[in-house]
Structures are given as structure tokens and as C-alpha cells.
Amino acid sequence: MAIRLGGDGDDMEEMSEINITPFIDVILVLLIIFMIAAPLATVTVPVDLPVSTATAQPDPQEPIILSLQNDLTLSIGDRAIDRSMLAAELGRASKGDTQARILLRADKGVDYGDIMGLMDDLRKANYLKVGLVTEDGTGPAPQ
């Protein structure tokens, strides 16, 4: 608590204002300390890790390739399928695993709405891990 001294010294009254300057100084000092200490807290212990001679394990399951051609015919791999049998054919190809990855290859002439309709059919069949396949863009630029 601060006291303001008057002119004659007899009427000492309390000052109810807070001096915030020391508080800001303390916060700035703490900020600087943390800014210096934070990078030092990372683990930089040198460890010579052993080398593994085991071969890398392949992905446990190959993705299912679903192709949509320009005339809206569907194929799983090289086998043409009827769209009404999509869920059953995917179940056979994935051995009933709805968590199987499906890679969708669609001809660039296929309407966007048709692709979204096929993806909606895949969602209704509970196949949610769907990826879209494109060609590598390193070739010549389209005209």
C-alpha cells in the first residue's frame, strides 16, 4: 500500500492506484528466460543407433483399383462389373473388409457429377478409404 505525503505531513492519505510497471518488468524478464531456455530443453543427446538388416515389410494389403471409363462402365482391376453389383463385387475383391483402400481411376472426360455419384455409392457400401488416381504431371503441358 502506498502513502502520499502531503505538504504539512499530518494528513497522510492512502493512494489506491496500482503501479503496474514492476509487474511488466518481471513478466518481460520471465519471457526472456523462457525464450532462452526453451531451445535448450530439446533432446540433443547424441545416440549411435544400431542398423537393422531386416527388409522393409510391404503394405499388408494391395489397394483395389476401381476404374470408371468415359462411357461410365466400371471395372475392378481388369474385370468389368455392373454398377448395380458394385457393393457385392467390392466385397468379393476386398474379402469383406470395408476398411480396404480403393483407388478410383476416372477418365478425364467423365462428368464430375458421375464421379461423385460413384463415390456416394462407395460410401453407401461403407468403403470410406477412397483415393483418386491421376497421372504424373511431369509430361508435356496440356494444350
Per-residue model confidence (pLDDT) at position 43: 60
89-131 pLDDT, tens digit per residue, is 999 988 888 888 898 888 888 898 998 999 999 999 999 888 8
Least Cα distance to 14 among 24, 25, 3, 22 occurs for 3
Most confident of the following: 4-8, 64-68, 136-140: 64-68
Amino acid type, 63? P
C-alpha cell at 78: 481388369
69-82 pLDDT, tens digit per residue, is 888 889 888 888 88
Per-residue model confidence (pLDDT) at position 5: 58
21-47 pLDDT, tens digit per residue, is 888 999 999 999 988 888 777 666 565
Of the pLDDT bands very low, low, confident and very high (cuts 50, 70, 90), residue 135 is: confident
**Cα 120-124-81 angle, rounded to 5 deg:** 75
Kindly list the distances between the CA atom of residue 109 and the CA atoms of 68, 113, 115, 135, in Å, as whole numbers in the listed order: 10, 12, 11, 14
Kindly list the distances between the CA atom of residue 138 and the CA atoms of 92, 103, 107, 133, 142, in Å, as whole numbers in the listed order: 36, 21, 19, 15, 11
pTM of the complete model beyond 0.75: no
Per-residue model confidence (pLDDT) at position 37: 85
Is the pLDDT reported for residue 53 higher than 80? no
Please tell us whether the domain made up of 64-132 is placed in CATH 3.40.50.1970: no
